[in-house]
Structure formats: C-alpha cells, structure tokens
Structure 1
Amino acid sequence: MGETRDVRLIHGRYRLLDRIGRGGMGEVWRARDESLGRHVAVKCLKPLGQQRDPSFMRVLRERFRREARVAAGLQHRGITVVHDFGEYEGILYLVMELLEGKNLSQLLEENRHHPLAVDDVVDVAEQIAAALAYTHEQDIVHRDLKPANIVRLTDGTAKICDFGIARLGHDIGFTARLTGTGIAMGTPHYMSPEQIGGTQVDERSDLYSLGCVLYEIATGAPPFDLDDAWAVLVGHRDTEPEPPRSHRPDLPAYVDRIILDLLAKEPDERPRDAREVGRRIAAGRTGYVPTVRAAQIVPYPATQVVRSPQPRHEPRNPQEPRLPSWTRGMTTGHKATGGSGLRVTPPDSAAGLSGEWIPRPAGPATTGPDPAERPAPAPELLASLLSRHHAGLSLGRAGRWAEAGEVHRAVAAAREGALGPDHPDTLASRYEAAFSLSRTGRATDALREYRRVVEGRARVLGAEHPDTLGARQEVAYVLGKLGRHPEAHQAYTEVLAARERAMGPDHPDTLRCRHNLAFNLSRLGRLEESYRMASQVAQARARVLGPDHPDTLVTRCEVGYTLGQLGRWSDALQTYREVAAARAETLGPAHPDTLAARYEVGIGLGRLGRSAEALVLYRDLIDDRTRVSGPDNPETLRARHGLGVNLGRLARWEEALAEARDVRAIRERVLGPDHVDTLVSRREVAVGLGWLGRWRDALIEYRGVADARERVLGETHPDTLASRNDEAHCLEQLGRGAEATELYGRVAAQRRRG
C-alpha cells in the first residue's frame, strides 16, 4: 500500500488523522475532507487478503455498494449521515459525519457502569424509537443495534450508527466466514432469539435489541450478563429477564413494562412497531414525576458482578447444545464497555491504515506433561468439553451450585481421560468443582479437591505460580471454614510471603491474601493483630484502589468487626456507618452490599444498648431486603433474626420467641435443618423459651443444636462446645446440678484437646 503518508490519504481527498475506534469488521478514523475542508469520520472495512476468491470479492463489493447507497439515502435526525463510499487499494470505506459526543458504551464506562439518569434513559429511548420507526418504514433493518452503535451528541441528540454494515455481513455469508476464524459478528448480549436461531429477521429483531440496550442503560448491565457466549445465547433464547425495576426501584413502571415487552421471546409478542414504542414512551412521560435526583441513582459499581437471572425453564442439557452451528466457538464480544465504539485512541502512524488483522486466539496452547505418549484428542471433544465447562460456570453464576458441581466433576473426569490429570484444563475443572463443593457446604470434599489442584499445578507450573497460589489460598479459606484456623493461618502466611515476593506488597492479590489473613487472625482470638493488619490493608486498598472501592469497603467492614470483638462498639458502629454511607453513594441505597453494612450498623446499636434504634433500623432493612430479594432470602431472614434479638433485649420475649420460631421454620425449609443459620435461629428459640421460664422446652432445643453442630462440625469445634455449655446451663436451671457439672467438665476437656 505504499508509504505511510500515502496510506493516510484516500483517493487524494480523505486524509486519515487518527484512529478513534476499532470493531469486529473495521476501524474508524477521524479524517479531513481536503476537498470541502471539513472533518469527517471514515470507516474502513478489514483488508481482504488474496485468499478471498474472485467471486466472493465481486459479491462483497456489490453488496457493499448497495448497502452504502441505502445508508447514504437515510435522512433523519437520529441516524448518522453517510457522505461518501468507495474502495481504495482493496479497502472498502464509508465517509460519515464526525459526531461530537460519546456512544452509550462510553457513557456507561465513564460513569463506572452506573446506569444513566432516568430522564436520559427515557430521552434516548424516545429518540432511538423514532429513528427506528423511520428506517423500518423504509424496510431497512439494522441487525446490530447495541450501545456502541448509539451516539449521544453534546446537545443531547441520540444517533444510530452503522446502518447496513451488519446486514452486509449477514447477506454475503461474511458472518460464517469470520466466525470460523474466531471472530463473532454481532454482539451476543444484544441479539434477538430469531437472530440466534438463524430464522427470518425483521424490524422486530431491532426492537428486541433496543430492549437490551435500554435494559443496560437503565440498570447498568445487559439482561443476560454472563461471560461466555453460549450462556448468553441460551439466556436470550430460554430465560425470562428479571424486571429492570428489581435492580433499579426508582425506574418508572411504564419504562419497566416497555423494556420487558421489547424483550419478549416471540416477535409477535413485542410492540407492533417502533412507532408504538414511541407513543407508549410519550404517554408514560407525561405522567411521570421524578421523586429523587438522578445523581442518587447508582445501583451498579464498575467492579460489581451482577447476579444472573434465574431461568423459569430448565436449560437444555449443556452436553447437547441445540444452538445453531455458527455459534460454536463464538466469543461474547464486547458488552457496553467501549470496545467496538468510537473510543479515542492514540494515533498509530507506524502501523499504516490498519496493521495486521490477526484474530485473537482462544488461549495459549497447553499440553500435558507427556503429550507424545497420549493420542491427541479430537477437536470436537475438546470443544464440547469447553462448552460444558462454560455451562457449569453459568450454573454457578445463577446460584445453582449443586448442578454446577456435577457438571464440573464430569468435565474434569473427561478432561483427565483426554488430556491427562495435570493438564491445565483438567485442573481448571477440578478447581471449579472444588469451588462448587465449598458453596454447597461440603468443605471437607472441597479441601480434598483443592489440594489435588495445588499438587498438579505445583508440578506443572511451580509452587509459586499465580494459579498455584490461587488454589493454595482457597485451601486456606476452606481450612478456616472447617474451624482449622491454625492450619489456615500457616497456609495464608506462606501464600502471602510468596505473593509479596512475586507481586509486591500492594498488588491487589497480595492485599486480598492479607485481608484473609487478618480475618483468620480474629478467628484465632488474636484480635489486636487482626485489627492492625485489617487497618493496614484498608489503608493500602484506599491508596491503590480508592477509598470507596468495594474491596476497600470490605476490609473496612473487617476493621469494624474486629473493633466489635475488642469491645470498642462505638468505634465499630462509626466504621459501619461510614461504610454504609459510602456504599449507598457508590452502589445505591438498595444494593445488597449497602444493606449488609446497614445490618452491621444494627448489630452495633444493639451491642451499645440502643435496641429501640436497632428495631427501627431492622424493620426498614427487612422491608428493603424483602423488596429487593424476597421474603425467604437468607439476608432477609438474617435481618429478621436481628429484629428478634433486639425484641428480646427489650424484654419483649413473647414477640421475640414468635419471630425466632418463624425465621427458624423458613430457614429449615429454605436452607435445611442443619444449616448454620438454621441452628442459630433454633438457639434463639431456646433463649426465648428460657427467658419465659420454659426450661424443659429450652433444654430440648439447646441439646438439638449441640447434637447437630457436633454432627456437622465435630465435637471440639468452638460452636459445638458453646452449645454444650448452653445445654449445661439449662440443666442448672432445671436443678440437675450433677449432670451440669459433669457436662461442664467434659466441655473443658474437649476445649483443651481441641
């Protein structure tokens, strides 16, 4: 293509100044139209190598010219103007108006993935609906509507970009060709079910994509916010999205309804056309009066992992995905985080117009320790196992940990047979299986699996490789869950030393390990050391990540916990209040992390004897938890437990006992009779019975809790021994002193042994 200076001047007219965007099919450059003396945007499609056959190239050029003429003929305030098009040295290009503004992808990213203000959501929705109505009335479908293709100008105008480009790719079979190289056309987070199924696409597909865009700018995340394309596509096809208002309570009901109607699985169930969408928005806007300032609406932080929707239907067997063949190997592409939009990047004068267009590989090639002795597994088998691995990850994100564990264990066994026991993919599956076991309360089984992963990674990668250290840190965590805190302390200390050597003291992974070590120190009763370390980690995280970063605030919560354990409840209460305020500002008042900090504020109030204030707080918290998560959610039940405890502190024991029994019954049903939270509620029932003088009934409950803890945790676990002490106290109250003395002695001996 000649010298760089020649490359940057197309047909002697358009001088490319700097690249401002790169996407799946091309690059966008800011350029100067030398003939008219104005700045424009030039979109260049990928250079097409000699491997393209001539017939394919003829079809491509003809379809490009046809689509470019269609795009140039669109004249609407909400659509980017196309000035010119052509081909230069094998590169197809479009010349468009240069927009002064930012696309929705950039706006969300700059806002740290907080949703847009309600008024902005409504305004964008109304403008884009009008633009789509105009194009649909001319029988033109966009096919790739997403946040990166919608630009908000500085004057508030919203414009759709890239009409015809996605259609071009679809109609000439470009999608299949590119997907074969690992590059996916379109973005799965915004694709309609009919696009996914490969069936007839019309303007109602654009309406579905509009619903995905509006969902994201209204809540901060797309409706199916998952990390692998297969799971995203299955979500669009089979799963009903959670209502946007479940994430954003201040969102007007009419906006919530419009978005859900746009996201209907069947095209016939969506609004009839874009005009109808615009009419519904206008009608709803006239009846909507904001109740809070837009700046207060920040439910999603940049680092939050958004909970994936719960499917209403069981997903199809992940071993037999019934998606079109073109989806295999597909990547998720970019969510609304910049990526394929008009993000400004530094000029790249040395690379010519586009540099080399080399598809990003799926990952580094890995082999087992003796690949020559093992026949190479079929690519189809590896692809199937990778798909099943991702399906397991998706089940975990949906909270279905038991099913996720089954998938990961099966994939681990299959990968071991195909690749060997120490292959990184085999160990990755074992790691996920261990994580699922830990989440389902099977800590002993999880520990065994994590140790196998540590041993395998140490052999293949080395004892201090980051992946090995990650598994070693999980071993320490599970040891802590098992109450084996001295062993956990030793493991954390060794991992921390290795992380500090390899990464430095302020690396986020190092700080995470130090946080866990501080937590474990408090469980060892070394409270002053725990407090000092947690305080140091909080300061370091504030310096490295920022004072309001979620990780910083998590460590500050640990500082508050340790202050409480040291009896410094006034300081603990102040810390928790500061964390709650910071989370409300950063995450939003209804975010689960904010509600968790408010719960700890209630703990502090109760411990300071301010139970009347605690009652008010817990009642408000229960209302918020119920609205956000439902009445049976474990965190809602935890708030109700706190309410019951403070009713008891105010000597309102009949009410306290009724609350404890109600919470216990729900926890038994939802969590199981031996779950730690269920046993805490059962103990609270016993406390209420004792205060009401019903010691025989209390003894039954105390003994039942002690037996269950001994069965689950072991006879020397601190919680088990505490329950046996409760049982002995109850025996004393019943006048059975000899039995009580004998039990106290046995507990003391077991504590020494433990």
Structure 2
Amino acid sequence: MADTALIQGRYQLLDLIGRGGMGEVWRARDESLGRLVAVKCLKPLGQRDTAFMRVLRERFRREARVAAGLQHRGVTVVHDFGEYDGVLYLVMELLDGHNLSQLLEANGRRPLPVAEILDIAGQVAAALAYTHEQDIVHRDLKPANVMRTVDGAVKICDFGIARLGHDIGFSSKLTGTGIAMGTPHYMSPEQIAGGAVDRRSDLYSLGCVLYELATGVPPFDDGDAWAVLVGHRDAPPEPPRTHRAELPEPLERVILGLLAKSPAGRPQDAGELGRFLAEVWPTAPSVLPPAARGLPTWALAMSTGCKANAGMGPGPAPVALRTVTPPGGFVGGLTGPWTGPMELPPVVNPVVNPVVDQVADRVVNPAAAAVATVAAPPPSTLVSRHNEGLSLGRLGRWEEAEAVHHALAAERSRTLGSAHPDTLASRYEVAFALCRLGRHADAARAYEQVAAGREHTLGPDHPDTLAARQEMGYVLGRLGRHAEAHRTYTAVLASRERTMGPDHPDTLRCRHNLAFSLSRLGRLEESHRVAREVADARARVLGEFHADTLVTRYEVAYALGRLGRWAEALGAYHAVAEARARTVGPDHPDTLAARYETGVSLGRLGRCEEALEVYRELAGARTRAHGPADPETLRARHGLGVNLGRLGRWEEALAESREVGTLRERVLGADHADTLVSHRETAVALGQLGRWAEALKLYRQVADARQRVLGAAHPETHNSRNDEAHCLARLGRTAEATELYRQVAALTVRQAAPRTRESLSGGFGPEPSDRL
C-alpha cells in the first residue's frame, strides 16, 4: 500500500503506524474534512477466485457496516470503508495512545498497578455490555485490540472485523490439525472446539487479558501453540497470586471467574460483570455480604478482601466543560534527552511564586532532597506512580490522586529539575486534582505555574502549554472571574486555530469553553451562536453521537433556555437525552442530567404534569443509583416540589420542599446555595397557604445567609430582601415593608453577579410577583 498515496481521491496516506495479521494501519488525512484519521488496509492472502472475492467483498461491507453502526465511547469509531485497487480499507478515528500490549512492553512486561487494571476492566466491561446488547460478539479480544488513550479512555478496536479474518486468510492454523484459530493465548474453550460462541466467549478473552495485565504473562504460555490451546481447553489456570502475591484476592477471583471452562460458570453478560465490579469494590465493611445482596453465583466467593481496594468502580462521570488534554508524551514517561536538572527562571508574578512550595514541592529539607537525588527511583517506577495517580483520579479518589501526584512532582523536581516536562506534567495533574476537590484558587495558581513553565520550556503555542492555559480559563470561570476566563479562552483559541486548524478537536473544545464563558457574561446570543457552530462542527468531525458533540448540544439547549426559547430548548434537551440513553445508558449521570433539563423546560412551558412525571422518575433513578441524600437526588426532588406548587398542590409542595431543605442542610451545609433555594421554596408554599409569619422567618433567614455569603449588593440578596418586604406587607407591617423596599432600591448594582445555574434553569421558580 506504500505506493498508493491517495485512496479514493480523499484519504492521503502519511505514515505507517502499524502492521499485523490484518494488514497495515496508516495515519492519514481526510482531505474532504481536513482531519487526521487511521486507515486500516486489509488485503486477502493467496490466490482467490472471482466468486470468492465477490462474496468476500459483500461480507466485508456487512461487517464494516456493523462496526460503523457502533456508537459508544469505549468502541473505536469507524468513519468509512470501501475497496481501492484490490485493497479493502477501513477509515477509523485516529487514537492518541497505546494498546495494552504496548503498555505492558513499555512497562518491561511487569504487571500494571491494581487501580489501573480495575479501571481498564470497568471500561472494557461497559463497552462489551453495549456491543453485546447489539448482538455483536468481538471474537478476537486481546491486548493489541484494546487501546488506552492518553486521556485515560479505553477503546476496543476491530469490532465486526474479527469474524472477517478467517475468511480473508489472516487466521493461523495449527500444523496438521486444520483447526482455525484467532490468537491462541486469548481464545475461549468453545472457540477452540470450533463450536458456537456468544458474548461469554468475549468475557473469557477479557479474563485472559486481565490475567496478563495483573501478572505480566498470559494464563497459558507454554510457547507451543498446541499446548496453549490444550491449556485453555483442559487445564485450570494458575491463580494469579502465584505470580504476584500482593494481588488482592477479589481481583484474582474476578479473573478466575471469567476463565471458567464452561460458559455457564462465567458472568452471563458484561453488564453483570460491570455491575458487580461497581458494587463490590466501593463497599465498606459494614454493608451486607454479597450473598445477602443477591450477587451471582460466580461472584459469591469475592466477599473477602474488598476493603483493600475500596473505591473501585466505573470511574467518575465525564467533565463536560474542561480540557482533558493530558501532559505530553506517553502517560508520564520521560519525554526528552535531558542531561541534568533543568530549572525555571524566577517567576515575577507574586501570585504564582507560592505554588512551588505550597502545591508542588512541599519537601523543603535540603538534606532529604540530596538523599532523594542520590537514591532516585528508576524512570519506570516514576511512570508507574504517575499512572497510579491517574487511575485513582479516574476512580474519583481525588484526595489520594492529589497526594500521589504531589509527591511525584516534588521528586521529579529534585531529580529532573522544575522545568522538565515530566515535572510539569505531575504539577498539571496536581492542579487537576485540586480543581476536582473544589480548591479552585489553589488550582488556578498551580495551572499558572505549569503554563509559565511550559511556555518557557516548550513555547507559547505548544499543545501542552495551551492545555494548561485552557484549564486556567476553566478554574477562573469556577471562581466567578468570567471576564478573565473569556480573555484566556480567546487567546488560546487564536493559537489553536493558527497551529491546529479550526476543526481540530482541541480547537473545538476551546470554542465550546468560550461559548460557556460568553453565557456566564450574559452575552446569550453570542453564546448560542458559538455553541451551535461548535456542535455542528463536532458532529461533522467526531460524529453525531460522540460524547463531545452531545455536550455542546446540551450547551446549545441551555443557551436557548436562557434566551427564553423554551420550546426549542425542550426539543434540544430531549434529543441529547435520547442520544445519551443509546450510547451510555438510560441511568448514566449524563443522561439523567439531560432529562433533568427536559423537566425544567416542561415546567417553564407550563406543562407541569409532564414535568412532575419527569422529576418523579428522575428522583427514583437517582435514589437507586446514589441514595436518597445524594445532591442530584435532592435536585430532582426539588424540581418535583416546584411543579407541585405550580399545579396548586401546596400542601404536598410544602412537605416536599421542607424535607429536601432539611436533607440539603445536613448534606451540603446551612449556607449552601441549594439549601437556601429549598428554604425559599418552603417559604413560598407557606405564603400560599396563608402562613405568612412562618414564611417571614424563612425569607429573612435566606436573605441574611445570602447577604453573608454573596454580599449586600448581589442580585440574589436583593431578591431575598424583596421577598422579605413582600411578606411584611402581607402581614400588614406596611411601614417596615416600605423601608426595606427603599433600602434595596437604593443599593446600586455596579456589576450584576452571575446567577446560579439552578436559578437560571428554573430551580428558584418564578419571582414573588408571579408566585405569591
């Protein structure tokens, strides 16, 4: 294929990035859309007659359509397929990362950290659950077919193509046996026997993959292909802990359960495996044992040892409005030919200086630093620790992740220098963890330090420099500094468009963030226009159902709501919810978030009965997934109470808002914005029921809290004081009401502070003139 520079006049082959039994994989440019893609060229082996090739082409088209129809973030996207000059080809998304086989090789064939294995297992199980629901079995799951991208996502490759391999002639044959096989180290017993295979065969292969990640070797690895097959068919695998004694027993039992010889002894589907992984590992010792929770038979033996790996699960929901570009290079490995510690020049900005000591380099004892330099661990150990921190973050264990990255940043600074890209990569991850922990001021200082260091070392337009700057914009927005965030995004966007082009995913991500900041600055028409343009571009470049496309469609809907175009907002939110239900599942947090906004839109359109049903279903789903006191459960119940009031069912609305307010105060705190929203809703219901004295007490409590937290000049404080004055008037205390109205009117608001998301999306309900 090297002589063919352009396929179908569209795909320009640039360089060969892989070669294997299925042919070659090229990095290529899609000249029509201006994006980089991967092109897999599949060429049949040997001489084939015309009839065979005709059947083969039809089979290829059918299998390629199967692959192209899969829309899940855990499955590699197939953009196009066809035949050119006798070569069958597939056009796929170009992934930035390494397959699991490469990760093991880069790690010296040593096993991966446990947290990394569990994260990979959860993501692969989720992808298999989706594909198995489509009645698609992979048949050739192996480390080389599972990609780990640089942002931590795990993607399975070659769906729909594995079955094609045997027909084309890629399958190996055991000498003298005539038994066709795929990759012997990962084949299920039923596959070896040539019988029918189903989804449980993929789960056996997954068990083989996890065994190798956990021990460094496949479960059967006798060198001779026949011996490997006989081992899969007849021999019990050695328990993984015979290779790696510190491996947690529950993980060993998961792997051995997947490697059961009989399909009936394995999990019956990937969804069952994923649910079990998510349920067992995060449990505390006080919860019921697995048998009492009705866990499957294959998993009953896994009740011991769970405490050592608390926190295992499917990982946190994706962060919609932040950059996830990782630090450059291969997951934290050494990135350049540095000959000694490299130091940054002094940082002039006094806001940045404290970061070196406060955030990234807490070890300040010179003697200890000297000892650490002499006894510095090998680079592979540092890479392993970096990956451990990344895995902890993906599991939502941000305090632990911050501690790991923090210690690693200090160690890298001592051994490599503060300007080394790996030191800055660790500091970047420190900042990221601080942001997820809600420590946005600390995160802003840390990102500023990383951005300054990368600009000095790598240049102002380097992707890693821009990633740090873009994260800086995000945390500025979280701090309410939206004008600064807007300036930051504008500068980063100009650089990204200049160096990467307007349709590069990182450019589109920055434009998405710009739309978000425009919205928070009140520039709603601009925000809507930019968000719509980004959504259309992402659909063209990434696909209509890509997670990033749906995030921006969500932002378009939000802008429509802010503009009062609620019917259009409802349609947009509904489309996002439907798409997310198809791609990530009906109970995924992202799907539920979109459904929540459909409830908001229905309420604003006066369709309160429908809104009531949406919130009731949401509250049930959130309760099942996260418990009755989870903030998102309470948010759904708050919407339920608001719409009960809109329907005039004030006694029910009062009971609901009062209970939600009590729970929010206990979970979030007395002065939290959501708690105050609920207390105000309770006061509204009391007023509607004529209980004005009780309502006054609550209105005053909310006003005092908002003044204490937000300041006397904040619009929400003004609204609360007006609520209080209105209530005084209803109680006949006209003079007090008039004076309070006068005081509020006298306060000049020089710069309107942004309202909370809940107030903007209908959480507060209409203002007093509409409700009282």
> In which range does the TM-score fall when normalised by the shorter chain?
0.5 to 0.7
The two structures have a TM-score, normalised by structure 1, of 0.58
Change over 3 Å in CA distance of 1:566–1:21 after alignment to 2 = same
Aligned to 1:273: none
CA distance in 2, matches of 1:503, 1:648: 52
Report whether the alignment pairs 1:399 with 2:452: no
Structure 2 counterpart of 1:218: 271
1:364 and 2:335 correspond: yes
SS of 2:21's equivalent? strand
- 1:200-215 to 2 correspondence within 5 Å? 207-210=256-259, 214=267
Equivalent-residue separation in structure 2 for 1:442 and 1:266 (angstroms):
33
Which residue number in structure 2 is paired with residue 443 of structure 1? 440
The 10-residue stretch of structure 1 (362-371 or 609-618) with the greater mean CA deviation from structure 2: 362-371
Distance in 2 between residues matched to 1:385 and 1:200, nearest whole Å: 22
* Other structure's SS at 1:651 match: coil
The offset of 1:536, in angstroms, is 0.8
SS at match of 2:259: helix
**Partner Cα separation in structure 1 for residue 666 and residue 412 of structure 2:** 37
Q: Determine whether 1:542 maps to 2:539.
A: yes
Distance 1:30 1:266 in 2: 50
Shift in alpha-carbon separation, 1:578–1:169, aligned structure 2, 3 A:
closer
Please list the CA deviations of residues 664-691 of structure 1 after superposition, one character each: whole Å capped at 9, or x if unmatched.
2222333333433333323323333333
Residue of structure 1 equivalent to 2:557: 560
Aligned counterpart, 2:196 = 156
Match of 2:616 among 595, 619, 639: 619
Gaps of at least 5 residues in structure 2 are 1-18, 25-42, 47-120, 141-182, 224-237, 307-312, 318-329, 345-368, 755-772
1:747–1:368: structure 2 CA closer, same or farther, 3 Å change rule? farther
Q: Which residue of 2 aligns with 1:737?
A: 737
In the TM superposition, what is the alpha-carbon distance from 1:171 to its structure 2 partner?
11
Query: Are positions 1:687 and 2:658 aligned together?
Result: no
Distance 1:688 1:465, change over 3 A: farther
Aligned residue number for residue 5 of structure 2: none
Secondary structure (helix, strand or coil) at the match of 1:748 reads coil
What is the 5 A alignment of 1:509-588? Answer: 509-588=506-585
Cα deviation digits, residues 630-679 of structure 1 (max 9, x gap): 22222221111110110111122222122122222222333333433333
Higher relative contact order (CA closer than 8 Å, sequence separation 6+): 1
Equivalent residue letter for 2:271: A
Output one character per residue of 1:689-745: Cα deviation in whole Å (capped at 9) or x when no partner: 333344444444344444544555555555455545545555555532344134313
How far apart are residue 629 of structure 1 and its match?
A: 2.6
CA apart distance, 1:479: 1.7
Alpha-carbon distance in structure 1 between the residues aligned to 2:339 and 2:708? 41
Post-superposition offset of 1:610: 1.0
Residue identity (%): 49
- Work out the CA distance in 2 between the residues paired with 1:740 and 1:145: 81
Residues 170 and 119 of structure 1, relative CA distance in 2, 3 Å threshold: closer
Unmatched tracts of structure 1, length 5 or more: 1-16, 23-28, 33-104, 125-143, 176-189, 226-233, 246-252, 268-304, 310-358
Within 5 Å, which residues of 2 pair with 1:306-385? 306-307=314-315, 362-365=333-336, 367=338, 370-371=341-342, 378-380=375-377
TM-superposed deviation, 1:540: 0.7
Whole-angstrom CA distance in 2 between matches of 1:653 and 1:668: 22
- Give the corresponding residue for 2:748: 748
Aligned partner of 2:297 in structure 1 is 258
For 1:689 and 1:525, the matched residues in 2 are separated by 33
Distance 1:110 1:615 in 2: 31
Offset, 1:569: 0.9
Secondary structure of the residue aligned to 1:114 is helix
Of 413-422 and 436-445, the range deviating more from structure 2? 413-422
Q: AA paired with 2:453?
A: G
Letter in 2 for 1:632: A
Q: What is the deviation of 1:621?
A: 1.8
Correspondence for 1:114: 130
Q: CA deviation at 1:532?
A: 1.0
- Aligned residue type for 1:545: L
Q: Alignment partner of 1:589: what SS? A: coil
C-alpha deviation, 1:626, in angstroms: 1.8
Distance 1:692 1:484, change over 3 A: farther
Q: Structure 1 residue 475: deviation in Å?
A: 1.5
Matched to 2:130, the amino acid is: H
AA of the residue aligned to 1:116:
H
Question: Is 2:531 aligned against 1:491?
Answer: no
- Could you say what secondary structure the match of 2:296 adopts? helix
Could you say if the C-alpha distance between residues 466 and 262 of structure 1 is closer, same or farther in structure 2, counting changes exceeding 3 Å? farther
CA distance in 2 between partners of 1:118 and 1:634 (Å) = 34
Contact 1:118-1:218 at 8 Å conserved across structures = no
Contact 1:476 1:487 in 2 (8 A): yes
* Structure 1 segment 598-747 matched on structure 2, within 5 A: 598-713=595-710, 719-720=716-717, 722-727=719-724, 729-730=726-727, 733=730, 734-735=733-734, 736-747=736-747
Match of 2:473 in 1: 476
Select between 555-564 and 418-427 the one with higher mean Cα deviation: 418-427
Deviations 1:333-355 (A, max 9, x none): xxxxxxxxxxxxxxxxxxxxxxx
After superposition, the Cα gap between the structure-2 partners of 1:385 and 1:686, relative to the gap in structure 1 and judged at 3 Å, is: farther
Rounded to whole Å, the distance in 2 between the matches of 1:172 and 1:237 is 33
Q: CA deviation at 1:111?
A: 7.0
Conservation of the 8 A alpha-carbon contact between 1:483 and 1:717 = no
**2:21 corresponds to:** 19
Residue number in structure 2 paired with 1:466:
463
Residue 594 of structure 1 deviates from its aligned partner by 1.9
Give the superposition deviation at 1:263. Answer: 4.4
Instruction: State the alpha-carbon separation in 2 of the partners of residues 241 and 216 from structure 1.
Output: 25
Given that 1:537 and 1:555 are in contact with CA atoms closer than 8 Å, whether structure 2 keeps it comes out as yes
Classify 1:366/1:481 alpha carbon distance in 2 versus 1 (closer, same or farther; 3 Å): farther
The TM-score with structure 2 as length reference comes to: 0.57
RMSD: 5.2
Aligned-partner Cα distance in 2 for 1:241–1:501: 55
Contact preservation (8 Å) 1:408, 1:433:
yes
Q: 1:210 to 1:18 in 2, by over 3 A?
A: closer
